[in-house]
Amino acid sequence: MTATFILAGAYFGFLFLALVIQSQEIRHPWLFLLRSFLPNWRFYSAPGPAPRLYYRHGCDGIWSDWQPMFPRFRRSLRALVFNPDVNLALTEMNLVDHLANNINDLDDPAQIAKLVPYRMLDRLVRDKLQTYLAPWNQYQFRVCAISPGCGIDFETDTLLISPMLDRP
């Protein structure tokens, strides 16, 4: 019981310090592990372009069109109480948000493939494509920043495009 209070006190103390220290960005590899417990304060800033994930697959040099990875879900009354599919999709979209933030913060674009969110997103796209029935032996994904109410222009909205990756 006492250990729980100590851990909770340490957690809220850390949150308090993070709120008080506004002029500096706290960067440390171990803090990355606490990221799921800390709210993303960029959520409260003005709405801007939202990162979206697109993918395509190819077989023998013939590529499909770019498809959105996370289509909109239908709303239902049942979803107000029990909604695991949408919750999973929101978690996966949060991964895309983290990668887009890391891309904006990165000094050397050549280091993108070494980022943990990039590798997780690569694995996510590969796993989603495993259920796809059409034959494919290569895939590619891209992260685009889409402004609210605007269509997508792949030429200007692309933040990241992966190389052509082979099916494992």
Whether residue 22 is found in the same domain as residue 88: no
Q: What pLDDT, on the 0 to 100 scale, is given for residue 128?
A: 87
Name the more confident of 141 and 86: 141
Whether residue 113 is found in the same domain as residue 130: yes
CA neighbor of 141 nearest in space, from 49, 56, 52: 56
Rounded Cα–Cα distance for residues 17 and 9 (Å): 12
**CB environment 25-58: b (16+ within 10 A), e (fewer):** eeeeeeeeeeeeeeeeeeeeeeeeeebbbbbbbb
Domain count, the chain: 2
Whether residue 75 is found in the same domain as residue 100: yes
**57-112, pLDDT tens digit by residue?**
988 888 999 999 887 777 788 777 888 888 888 888 888 988 998 888 888 878 88
Angle 127-132-134 from CA coordinates, rounded to 5°: 140
Identify whether the C-beta of residue 92 lies closer than 8 Å to the C-beta of residue 70: yes
Average pLDDT value for the chain = 81
Whether residue 8 is found in the same domain as residue 91: no
Whether residue 95 is found in the same domain as residue 15: no
Tell me the backbone φ, ψ of residue 45, rounded to 5 degrees.
-80, 180
Over residues 7-23, the mean pLDDT reads 77
Whether residue 14 is found in the same domain as residue 54: no
Whether residue 87 is found in the same domain as residue 132: yes
pLDDT band at 55 (very low <50, low <70, confident <90, very high): very high
- Containing structural domain, residue 5: 1-38
pLDDT band at 31 (very low <50, low <70, confident <90, very high): low
Whether residue 137 is found in the same domain as residue 88: yes
